[in-house]
Amino acid sequence: MKLQLLFVLLFFSLMGCTWYNQDSTGSLKVNFVHTFQDSTLQILESNQLIYTTTTGNKFNIKNLKYYIAKLTLYQNNGAKYDVNMVKLINPMELNTNYQNYTLANIPNGKYSKISFVFGVDSARNTFPFGLPNNSENNSMEWPFTLGGGYHFMMMEGVFQNTKNDTVGYAIHLGVTPNQFYNEFPIDLTVNGNDQSIDMQVNMEQWFNGINKINLNDGFGYMMEDQQKQLLFKQNGVGVFTLK
């Protein structure tokens, strides 16, 4: 009987640790929800042209991957919380872990702002292996010859050019100056619970933002063309919206 009592005490003392943590921290999963003109984004394997830019390009998206870095929550008193992580978002993956960024162990409290960096933060955008040396990060590398680091975004597909041929485009952003910062007001109370929010990623904005992109203007070779990358960086500011 004494032994059983000891087990019971041990069980509750162990559970107590867990309960304490659950009480003092929570988590927030930010789901990146990709849309095009308010419909769910379709990433195609075929050459079917299902989207149109305001400049009249019929096009599709066949490949999309990008990095989000340093997702951070802020309290009104200036306190902030982040996990100093860089996350590859890959909507083509069936595994939904590639479509969200989760902050765990957030101290309880009220948070009024959320921010993140689009791309890889400069401290980790380095050669070689600023990010963990694994298959997914290595597939995003930006060549040493072009400055090193990582592609912040790869978006590829095909479009109909002025000769009515279906040809490729490749929006590749990289190099530290092309990161950009996003912040949104948020009304979030963390109280030991797990929560999730949706971040809408309006893909149309990449093409139809401040800069109206015409894919006939040579968006196949832009890794060495800062002016072309800048057009997308400027458009990117309006891509993300907190729902």
227 belongs to the binding site for another protein (CB under 8 A): no
Q: Is the peptide bond before 128 cis (omega within 30 degrees of 0)?
A: yes
Query: Distance between CA atoms of 62 and 89, rounded to whole angstroms?
Result: 15
Query: Which range touches another protein (CB under 8 A), out of 33-41, 108-116, 191-199, 220-228?
Result: 220-228
Q: How far is CA 137 from CA 34, 61, 100, 119, 157, in A?
A: 21, 21, 16, 12, 21
Q: Which residue in the set 38, 45, 187, 243 belongs to the binding site for another protein (CB under 8 A)?
A: 45
User: Which DSSP symbol is given to 212?
Assistant: B
The secondary structure of residue 10, as a DSSP letter, is H
Best CA proximity match to 146, nearest among 172, 117, 180, 113: 172
User: Is 126 near another protein (CB under 8 A)?
Assistant: no
- Contact call for residue 157 and another protein (CB under 8 A): yes
| Region binding another protein by CB under 8 A among candidate stretches 53-61, 83-91, 107-115, 138-146 | 138-146
CB 197 within 8 A of CB 242: yes
Applying CB under 8 A, does 56 fall inside the site for another protein?
no
Choose one: 9-17, 21-29, 181-189, 214-222; the region binding another protein (CB under 8 A): 214-222
Told to check if 79 binds another protein by CB under 8 A, we report no
Asked if residue 40 binds another protein (CB under 8 A), the reply is no
Least distance to another protein, CB of residue 205, Å: 22
Return the residue of 77, 133, 164, 227 that touches another protein, per CB under 8 A. 133
The yes or no reply on residue 134 touching another protein (CB under 8 A) is yes
CB of residue 186 to another protein, shortest distance in Å: 36
Tell me the C-alpha distance between 228 and 220, whole Å.
10
Task: Assess contact for 101 and 71: CB atoms under 8 A.
Answer: yes
- 220 counts as binding another protein under rule CB under 8 A: yes
C-alpha dist (Å) from residue 113 to 124, 136, 186: 24, 30, 5
CB of residue 134 to another protein, shortest distance in Å: 5
* Using rule CB under 8 A, residue 165 touches another protein: yes
Token pair of 113 as six digits? 């702002």
CB 190 within 8 A of CB 25: yes
Q: Which residues bind another protein (CB under 8 A)?
A: 3-4, 45-47, 62-63, 127-129, 133-136, 138-139, 141-146, 148, 156-158, 161, 163, 165-170, 219-221, 223-224
